[in-house]
């Protein structure tokens, strides 16, 4: 059966025109590029490079990696399998027809070192309904790879790019005609390109981390019925037009960390010990955000995530523009539960953009003490 969503490369423009009024102004480039091979080129001979295959893990965790490069640049192989699936995004059972890389929102974090080559296999199983692709903000050319990776259900593509810039970068789906829908349905993640010599403070001091966590902030736009209840749909395609209407209000119904309200709080809190240094990576592919660690700080912060810049120090809150991934390094000094929030506090407390750090260790009375606990006067 043909639906407006099962479009082929050749009918991208027709499909796009039918789907959204804004799309045609942006899409011809993408459609043209995906139909044609790259312009005249001399294939790069990388046969002398070592290859490494990485098994990705679901956020907030990050696959094993070394902080400094352990040799010359290599080809690092990753695979992302696109999964369209229903996900529950709050404790009231609200559902979205999510689109995901590897089944999680956000998609998994990839780690390479500067000047490594990323070789990504992007798989769109034939059980999916829609066409997808991937745009790496860390890549150069062809719409970040988006023009070379448009895959219909049942297809896969392999993209290789050289990670020339060090930093944390967003990746996201950007299919012709439906970019914001796919991004706000969960198809985004991040890649960290570490300097080959590891992180520094920009003044010669090496910076290392004991743990790294990846927080992906997601805005969802869930349609409501006449009574104000969130609607459910049998398929992602069926949810499209209602969801687009809500998206155009620019008013998310949910703003969450890692796919759902509470995904990183309570029993799912991020763990650390006093004295440990934690690297917190935070991406938002679509909206601005302003992370804040309640009761802590950002010792070293690359708010826009790019490691050739000197990090800001001793930050209280940092600003990550939409379409960016930031990095903050903090050494915990006190035990306890810390809330890590988007410090638009309405977005944190009312819409869900909050996580917890559960930190164990010895209390430092010098840093803080209760001289007198609350009592009646
Ligand atoms: Cu997609």
The pLDDT tens digits for 137-175 are: 999 999 999 999 999 999 999 999 999 999 999 999 999
Closest C-alpha among 324, 329, 260, 254 to residue 289: 324
For the record, the structure tokens of 217 come out as: 């902030």
CA of 90 to the centre of ligand 1 (A): 23
Q: pLDDT tens digits, residue range 257-272? A: 999 999 999 999 999 9
Q: CA 88 to CA 97: how far, in whole Å?
A: 9
**Interval 325-348 mean pLDDT:** 98
CA 349–ligand 1 middle distance (angstroms): 29
**From the CA of 131, how far away is ligand 1's center (Å)?**
6
pLDDT band at 376 (very low <50, low <70, confident <90, very high): confident
d(CA 218, CA 259): 7
Q: What residues does the ion ligand 1 have nearby, CB within 5 Å?
A: 99, 132, 173, 182, 187
Q: Where are the beta strands (DSSP E) in 150-307?
A: 155-162, 167-172, 188-194, 199-200, 206-207, 211-220, 254-257, 270-273, 277-284, 291-293, 298-302
Whether 280 and 338 have beta carbons less than 8 Å apart is answered as: no
For residue 274, the CA-to-ligand 1 centroid distance in Å is: 40
| d(CA 83, ligand 1 centre) in Å | 9
60 C-alpha to ligand 1 centroid (Å): 21
Distance 232 CA to ligand 1 centre (A): 20
36 band by pLDDT with thresholds 50, 70 and 90:
low
Main-chain dihedrals φ then ψ at residue 190, nearest 5 degrees: -150, 155
Contact 246, 253 (CB under 8 A): yes
Which tens digit of pLDDT belongs to each residue from 65-76? 999 999 999 999
24 CA distance to ligand 1 centroid (A)? 18
Separation between Cα atoms, residue 327 and residue 307, nearest integer Å: 9
How far is it, in rounded angstroms, from Cα 373 to Cα 365?
A: 14
Centre of ligand 1 from the C-alpha of residue 140, in Å: 20
For β-strands 117-124 and 75-88, DSSP reports them as parallel
258 within 8 A of 280, measured Cβ to Cβ: no
Looking at every residue in the chain, the average pLDDT score rounds to 92
Residue 377 — very low, low, confident or very high, per pLDDT cuts 50/70/90?
Answer: confident
What is the rounded (10 degree) CA torsion for 287, 290, 294, 296?
130
Over residues 41-68, mean pLDDT: 96
Active site (catalytic) residues: 132, 135, 137, 172-173, 182, 187, 292, 316-317, 343
The stretch 206-218 carries a mean pLDDT of 98
């Amino acid at each position: 059966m043909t639906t407006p969503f099962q479009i082929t490369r050749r009918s991208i423009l027709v499909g796009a025109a039918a789907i959204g009024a804004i799309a045609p102004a942006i899409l011809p480039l993408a459609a043209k590029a995906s139909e044609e091979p790259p312009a005249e080129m001399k294939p790069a001979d990388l046969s002398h490079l070592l290859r490494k295959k990485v098994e990705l893990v679901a956020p907030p965790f990050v696959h094993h990696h070394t902080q400094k490069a352990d040799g010359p640049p290599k080809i690092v192989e990753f695979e992302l399998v696109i999964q369209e699936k229903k996900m529950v995004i709050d404790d009231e059972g609200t559902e979205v027809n999510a689109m995901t890389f590897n089944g999680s929102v956000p998609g998994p974090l990839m780690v390479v070192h500067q000047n490594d080559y990323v070789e990504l296999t992007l798989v769109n199983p034939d059980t999916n309904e829609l066409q997808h692709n991937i745009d790496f903000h860390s890549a150069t050319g062809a719409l970040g790879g988006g023009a070379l990776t448009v895959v219909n259900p049942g297809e896969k593509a392999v993209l290789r790019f050289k990670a020339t810039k060090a930093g944390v970068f967003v990746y996201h789906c950007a299919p012709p005609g439906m970019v914001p829908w796919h991004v706000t349905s969960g198809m985004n993640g991040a890649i960290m390109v570490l300097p080959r010599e590891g992180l520094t403070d920009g003044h010669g001091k090496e910076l290392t981390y004991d743990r790294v966590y990846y927080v992906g902030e997601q805005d969802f736009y869930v349609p409501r019925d006449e009574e104000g209840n969130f609607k459910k749909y049998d398929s992602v395609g069926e949810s499209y037009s209602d969801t687009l209407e809500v998206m155009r209000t620019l008013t998310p119904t949910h703003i969450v960390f890692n796919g759902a309200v509470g995904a990183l709080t309570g029993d799912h809190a991020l763990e650390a010990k006093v004295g440990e240094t934690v690297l917190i990576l935070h991406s938002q592919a679509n909206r601005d955000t302003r992370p804040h660690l309640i009761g802590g700080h950002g010792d070293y912060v690359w708010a826009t995530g790019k490691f050739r810049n000197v990090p800001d120090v001793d930050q209280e809150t940092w600003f990550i523009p939409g379409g960016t991934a930031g990095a903050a390094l903090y050494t915990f000094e006190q035990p306890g539960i810390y809330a890590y929030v988007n410090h638009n506090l309405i977005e944190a407390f009312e819409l869900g953009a909050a996580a917890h750090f559960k930190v164990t260790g010895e209390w430092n009375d010098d840093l803080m003490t209760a001289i007198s606990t609350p009592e009646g006067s």
